[in-house]
Chain A
Amino acid sequence: EADIYQTPRYLVIGTGKKITLECSQTMGHDKMYWYQQDPGMELHLIHYSYGVNSTEKGDLSSESTVSRIRTEHFPLTLESARPSHTSQYLCASSDRHSGYTFGSGTRLTVV
């Protein structure tokens, strides 16, 4: 049973639309992360959070934004989607004693 949930699993959306990718975890982890991965390519860290009201940009520049109002919830928003945003988005969480637990991912296609 998954302890970290991402919705939607798949999303096809038109250029210019605003979208929010949801990520929730039930493990009480303080740290949460967003990665972007193109097929067959490496994982790129785009955002992370060490706790409520904490958000930081990752190694890869991204036009997306995140918020962390509650421990369990770490949504990612694109204000105006473009075809270059087409990718797989992976959410993960961890505490200081464990590795990362990943969600199933959201496959985003912008047409």
Chain B
Amino acid sequence: GAGVSQSPSNKVTEKGKDVELRCDPISGHTALYWYRQSLGQGLEFLIYFQGNSAPDKSGLPSDRFSAERTGGSVSTLTIQRTQQEDSAVYLCASSLDLARSSYEQYFGPGTRLTVT
């Protein structure tokens, strides 16, 4: 079946502009995660959605970052007033209900964001 998809695959933006990154999780997966992969910081957790529960935003680096998940499926990560340090690969992952003891996270191909 189809895996996690993300768009765009690459995004170049000017410093100060807003960007939106999209994630389509695997059908039937109730949990959705955003991570960031950057040279200096490695892979970092950003935010997590599970069903209708309030998202866990504890990994968001600043209030310029926000995310939403509409209808329990597609998610959008928004970065306002982008800075050069926001340049990274943004990864989305999804998993089955966390009540299952052997959940695993399936990752998408990522969006490479470059802020000039």
A and B: bona fide binding partners: no
